[in-house]
Structure 1
Amino acid sequence: MSNIVRGTMLLTGASFLSKFLGMIYVIPFNMLVGETGGTLYAYAYTPYSILISISTIGVPLAVSKFVSKYNSLGDYETGMRMFKAGIALMAVTGFLGFLILFFGAELMASFIVSNEDIGVIAIADVTMVIRAVSFALLIIPAMSIVRGFFQGYESMAPTAVSQVVEQIARIIFLLSAMFIVMTLVDSIPIAVGFATFAAVIGALASCVVLFVYWRKRKPAIQKQIQQQRVTHDIPKKELVKELFSYAGPFVLVGIAIPLYQLVDQFTFKRAMIAIGEGEISDTVYSAINLYGHKLVIIPVTIATGLSLAILPALTKSFTKDNKQQLNQQINQSLQIILVLVVPAVVGLSMLSDVAYGSLYGMKHISMTGSLLGWYAPVALLFALFTVTAAILQGVNQQRFAVVSLSGGLLVKVLFNIQLIHIFEAKGAIFGTALAAGTAVLLNIWRIKSSTQFSFRQTIKRFLLICIFSIIMCITIWILKALFGTFLAYEESRLSATIMLISGVLAGGGVYLWFAYESTLLERLLGNRVRVLDKIFRR
Structure 2
Amino acid sequence: MKEEKHKQTFVEGIAILGITGFLSKLLGAIYRIPFQNIAGDLGLAVYNKVYPLYSMVLILATAGFPVAISKIVAEHLAQQNHSGARQVLKVSIYLLSFSGLFVFLFLFFGSHTIAKLMGNPELDLAIKSVSFALLIVPIMAAIRGYFQGHQNMVPTAYSQMIEQLVRVITILVLAYLFMNNPQYGVYYAGAGATFGAFTGAVAGFIVLNIYWRKMNQQNNMNQMEFNLEDWESVWQIVRKILYYSLPVAIGSLIYPLFGIVDSFTISNLLQLMGLSLKKAENLFGVYTRAQPLIQFATFFAPSFSLALVPAISESIVRNHHKNVSEYIGTAIRFTILIGLPASVGLATLAQPINIFFYKDDAGSLSLAILAFTVMFSALAIISTGILNGLGRVFLPAKYLLIAVLVKLVLNTALIPIFGIHGAAFSTVFAYAFAALLNLLAIRNDYDHGIYLQFLLKIIISVFIMAIFVFFTRWSVIALLGNYLNSLRIIMAVVTFISILFGIISYFFGLLFTGAITKSELYYLPKYGPKIVYIIEKLHLLKFLKD
Q: Under TM normalisation by the shorter chain, which class is it?
A: 0.7 to 0.9
Change beyond 3 A, Cα 1:190–1:500: same
Establish whether residue 264 from structure 1 lines up as the match of residue 262 from structure 2. yes
Superposed displacement of residue 94, structure 1: 1.4
The structure 2 residue matched to 1:454, chosen from 434, 441, 447, is 447
Superposed displacement of residue 87, structure 1: 3.5
| 2:479 counterpart SS class | coil
Change beyond 3 A, Cα 1:498–1:442: same
Q: Mapping of 1:135-534 within 5 angstroms?
A: 135-148=132-145, 158-184=155-181, 185-211=183-209, 237-278=235-276, 280-289=279-288, 291-318=289-316, 322-362=320-360, 365=361, 367-449=362-444, 452-456=445-449, 464-488=457-481, 492-512=487-507, 519=518, 522-525=521-524, 528-529=527-528, 532=531
Between the aligned partners of 2:67 and 2:261, the Cα distance in structure 1 is 26
Q: Would the aligned equivalents of 1:304 and 1:387 in 2 still touch at CA under 8 Å?
A: yes
Once the two structures are overlaid, the 10-residue window that deviates more, 139-148 or 30-39, is 139-148
> After superposition, what is the alpha-carbon deviation per residue over 1:125-148, rounded to whole angstroms, capped at 9, x for unaligned?
311110101111112223234445
Superposed displacement of residue 390, structure 1: 2.7
Superposed displacement of residue 286, structure 1: 1.1
Q: Would the aligned equivalents of 1:62 and 1:246 in 2 still touch at CA under 8 Å?
A: yes
Superposed displacement of residue 355, structure 1: 0.9
Once the two structures are overlaid, the 10-residue window that deviates more, 379-388 or 18-27, is 18-27
| 1:50 counterpart SS class | helix
> After superposition, what is the alpha-carbon deviation per residue over 1:396-422, rounded to whole angstroms, capped at 9, x for unaligned?
321223321221122122221111123
Q: Would the aligned equivalents of 1:335 and 1:462 in 2 still touch at CA under 8 Å?
A: no
> After superposition, what is the alpha-carbon deviation per residue over 1:293-329, rounded to whole angstroms, capped at 9, x for unaligned?
1111112221122233444444455556554444444
Q: Would the aligned equivalents of 1:156 and 1:309 in 2 still touch at CA under 8 Å?
A: no
- Using CA pairs below 8 Å that are at least 6 residues apart, which structure has the higher relative contact order? 1
Between the aligned partners of 1:211 and 1:220, the Cα distance in structure 2 is 14
Between the aligned partners of 2:400 and 2:178, the Cα distance in structure 1 is 40
Superposed displacement of residue 347, structure 1: 1.6
Q: Which has the larger radius of gyration?
A: 2
Q: Would the aligned equivalents of 2:24 and 2:161 in 1 still touch at CA under 8 Å?
A: yes
> After superposition, what is the alpha-carbon deviation per residue over 1:478-514, rounded to whole angstroms, capped at 9, x for unaligned?
2013123234599811111110111122212333455
Once the two structures are overlaid, the 10-residue window that deviates more, 45-54 or 275-284, is 275-284
Aligned residues: 508
Once the two structures are overlaid, the 10-residue window that deviates more, 172-181 or 135-144, is 172-181
Q: Would the aligned equivalents of 1:468 and 1:514 in 2 still touch at CA under 8 Å?
A: yes
Match of 1:49 in 2: 55
The structure 2 residue matched to 1:21, chosen from 21, 27, 51, is 27
Change beyond 3 A, Cα 1:520–1:170: farther
Aligned residues: CA RMSD: 3.7
| 1:486 counterpart SS class | helix
Superposed displacement of residue 453, structure 1: 1.5
Change beyond 3 A, Cα 1:444–1:137: same
> After superposition, what is the alpha-carbon deviation per residue over 1:231-272, rounded to whole angstroms, capped at 9, x for unaligned?
xx9866455434423322322322323211212222212322
Q: Would the aligned equivalents of 1:303 and 1:383 in 2 still touch at CA under 8 Å?
A: yes
Change beyond 3 A, Cα 1:219–1:391: farther
Q: Would the aligned equivalents of 1:152 and 1:312 in 2 still touch at CA under 8 Å?
A: no
Between the aligned partners of 1:459 and 1:81, the Cα distance in structure 2 is 55
Between the aligned partners of 2:403 and 2:155, the Cα distance in structure 1 is 33
Between the aligned partners of 1:193 and 1:508, the Cα distance in structure 2 is 40
Q: Would the aligned equivalents of 1:15 and 1:305 in 2 still touch at CA under 8 Å?
A: no
Q: Would the aligned equivalents of 1:354 and 1:490 in 2 still touch at CA under 8 Å?
A: no
Between the aligned partners of 1:54 and 1:110, the Cα distance in structure 2 is 22
| 2:392 counterpart SS class | coil
Q: Mapping of 1:86-101 within 5 angstroms?
A: 86-101=92-107
Change beyond 3 A, Cα 1:87–1:440: farther
| 2:299 counterpart SS class | helix
Instruction: Report the AA paired with residue 335 of structure 2.
Output: I
Structure 2 unaligned segments of length 5 or more: list them. 1-10, 221-230, 539-546
Between the aligned partners of 1:138 and 1:195, the Cα distance in structure 2 is 18
Q: Would the aligned equivalents of 1:249 and 1:401 in 2 still touch at CA under 8 Å?
A: no
Identity of aligned residues (%): 29
The structure 1 residue matched to 2:127, chosen from 122, 127, 130, is 130
| 1:484 counterpart SS class | helix
Between the aligned partners of 2:217 and 2:320, the Cα distance in structure 1 is 32
Question: What TM-score, normalized to structure 2?
Answer: 0.81
Match of 1:117 in 2: none
